[in-house]
Chain A
Amino acid sequence: MSRIAATFENLKQDNKKALIPFITAGDPDPAMTVLLMHELVNVGADIIELGVPFSDPMADGPTIQRSYERALKHNISLENVLEMVAEFRKTDTETPVVLMGYANPVEAIGHQKFSARAKECGVDGVLVVDYPPEECEEWLESLKLNRIDAIFLLSPTTPERRIQQIAKRAKGFVYYVSLKGVTGSAHLDLNEVANKLVDLRSHISIPIGVGFGIHDSVTARAVSELADAVVVGSRIMKEIEESPREKILMNVSGFVKVLRTAIDK
């Protein structure tokens, strides 16, 4: 069983929902990332989603885009991100790590070479935002070969035919984007999410995580009642952006602790 599947299995037995915080690798600087990852686990993260900085993050809102820009000032490459995961794995062999990023840095390394290296460093899943299912057969092959889960996005506008198409390819969990727009957008319609999840569950057997627009304990709690996992990104990156460096660990862990408590309530 993959680390991601095992994590969801354990949570299910404990009757709990997964909390998946997102941080950008290399923001505010490369030395902070592994520290933050361990801290996130300490305060209750079940899976860590690590953003791979890209110069042109078309699907992300301003907060995550700025975090990518800060990371890129340190010339963070995809290989550097993999090294951070390897470093994290030295002391944490249980918490799944999912990379989220864009196609071009992956293609610069090459599908096969990247996937093999990612496995070696302890990556469990990869979500390439701009690889829809119809454009990535070879990519999926390379992930499969290296037993890495292919994480896919689903959106409120994804028609049924595509949900089935994605369900066939998705591994680990699927990531339902809870609203139209980019990461960090404001409005979240819980009724719509609830209805859509019923729809999705009729086609998808793996866990469903919900993200985009979750920004406090109330929204986190509400989403956790509907979904298998709660993904929080922009709000955490905002914490990192607005905190002085020496307070980042404290502030981020304080915020994630609040989410954890709300979800477990």
Chain B
Amino acid sequence: MAKNYNLPDMQGHFGSYGGTFVAETLIAALEELRDQYEYYRNDVAFQQEYARELKFYVGRPSPIYHAKRWSELLGGAQILLKREDLNHTGAHKINNTIGQALLAKRMGKKRIIAETGAGQHGVASATVAARYGMECVVYMGSEDMKRQAPNVYRMKLLGATVIPVESGSKTLKDALNEAMRDWVTNVENTFYIIGTVAGPHPYPMMVRDFQAIIGRESILQMQEEYGCQPDTLIACVGGGSNAIGLFYPYIDNKNVSMIGVEAAGLGINSGKHAATLLTGKPGVLHGNRTYLIQDDDGQIVETHSISAGLDYPGVGPEHAWLKDIGRAEYVGITDDEAMEAFDMLCRYEGIIPALESSHALAYAAKIAPTLDKDKLLLVNLSGRGDKDIDTVAKASGVVF
């Protein structure tokens, strides 16, 4: 892989984004994490153990699948799916939780904490905690707990304690605030596993590195199966971890374009959406500088998406940078468009996709008909949709 792109800098900046915007009380913990990660990042034994876990526990590599019937129906470019939905626990999240849990183990931390919105990262954290024999505490907004009851139960089955967060909007951003407070109080024995490419340095870099397996595998698999690289990468962006995982290894390959798909909710003009890069302004939240959905006074505004995993008012700082330099393009897909793509993939390919991933699928479906048949769109199918069937049923007026 050519390495012209070498961000972030030593302080975790991606251009003017990223960085370490936290209270002094957290600095020492972050410096320890940064130093330890810097060491193990280049440690062969660590990387070997990580690779083994991905192979034998997660089931990697995940295949690239040609969605042939759907592509034919759309009548244009070929849609290829990177099947992160086939990972153990059903999404890309575990690539990261395994990496961070292995790091926690080496740092001698016996307790891990995590924030979760939809519950996928919480489940992935509870899973690795069980796998490595660690105590696990997951913070989850009480609103989200209601919306995602099966995932709450999953975490409990895996031995985790789920703590409801009643502050603020009672959703993901508040769960993140609460997890940070726990960390600052219990930092000696606790490792905080952040689930996305947000938070203070080194989190955006570390989570990206652990998710970059998605893009690295894709480069090899594309070469092997198709003898070329895709024309365009498409991935959904909430915090942006699955997207950066796919994009990052391709950044230096300028022949490959990148599209991040944000949740346009009920429509960009409705005000009820989570399209941070499309509508937000730069600011500081959760320890980094990035685009934020905020009001004129700088207060963070509640977001909306049918998919809980995209329902976040910030976005990873590296995406903010890729947007500003024009290396990646960011677009929006509404709840309805995502639902339609969800249906199509079920009916035409026999795959139930996560609602998050359905946003990426919907954008692929939108542009595929406008492109030649020999063009290849690689869509990150970041998770499976079993968790979403209640939401989809409700939106379709079906009662179980």
Measured CB to CB, the residues of A under 8 A from B are 54-59, 61-62, 65-66, 69, 72, 75, 77-79, 102-109, 129-132, 134-135, 152-155, 157-159, 162, 166, 177, 180-182, 185
Q: Given contacts A56-B286, A77-B297, is CB(A158)–CB(B177) below 8 Å?
A: no
Asked whether, in the complex, the Cβ of B25 is within 8 Å of the Cβ of A157, the reply is yes
Measured CB to CB, the residues of B under 8 A from A are 11, 19-29, 167-168, 173-174, 177, 180-181, 184-185, 187, 282-287, 292, 294, 296-300
A residues less than 8 Å from B287 (CB atoms): 58, 130
Asked whether, in the complex, the Cβ of B185 is within 8 Å of the Cβ of A185, the reply is yes
Asked whether, in the complex, the Cβ of A155 is within 8 Å of the Cβ of B11, the reply is no
Q: Given contacts A58-B177, A104-B298, A105-B297, is CB(A69)–CB(B168) below 8 Å?
A: yes
Closest 6 CB pairs of A and B: A108-B298, A157-B28, A105-B298, A59-B23, A77-B297, A181-B185
B residues less than 8 Å from A157 (CB atoms): 25, 27-29, 187
B residues less than 8 Å from A130 (CB atoms): 21-23, 284, 287
Asked whether, in the complex, the Cβ of B25 is within 8 Å of the Cβ of A55, the reply is no
A residues less than 8 Å from B180 (CB atoms): 58
Q: 20 A–B contact pairs at CB < 8 A?
A: A54-B299, A55-B168, A56-B300, A58-B287, A59-B181, A59-B184, A65-B167, A69-B167, A72-B299, A78-B298, A103-B21, A105-B299, A107-B283, A107-B284, A108-B297, A132-B20, A132-B22, A159-B28, A177-B23, A177-B25
A residues less than 8 Å from B27 (CB atoms): 132, 155, 157-158, 162
Asked whether, in the complex, the Cβ of A55 is within 8 Å of the Cβ of B300, the reply is yes
CB of A112 to closest CB in B, whole Å: 15
Other A-B contacts than A77-B297, A107-B282, A180-B185, 9 sampled, CB-CB below 8 A, are A62-B167, A66-B167, A104-B284, A104-B300, A153-B25, A155-B24, A155-B28, A157-B25, A158-B27
Asked whether, in the complex, the Cβ of B22 is within 8 Å of the Cβ of A58, the reply is yes
Output the residue of B285, B286, B294, B297 with the most chain A CB within 10 A. Answer: B297
A75 to B, closest residue via Cβ: B297
CA–CA, A54 and B29, complex, Å:
24
Asked whether, in the complex, the Cβ of B20 is within 8 Å of the Cβ of A108, the reply is no
Q: Given contacts A104-B298, A153-B23, is CB(A182)–CB(B168) below 8 Å?
A: no
CB of A157 to closest CB in B, whole Å: 4
The answer, among A102, A154, A181, for a CB contact under 8 Å with B284, is A102
Asked whether, in the complex, the Cβ of A106 is within 8 Å of the Cβ of B298, the reply is yes
CA–CA, A57 and B173, complex, Å:
11
A residues less than 8 Å from B24 (CB atoms): 132, 152-155, 158, 162, 166, 177
Asked whether, in the complex, the Cβ of B184 is within 8 Å of the Cβ of A182, the reply is yes
CB of A170 to closest CB in B, whole Å: 11
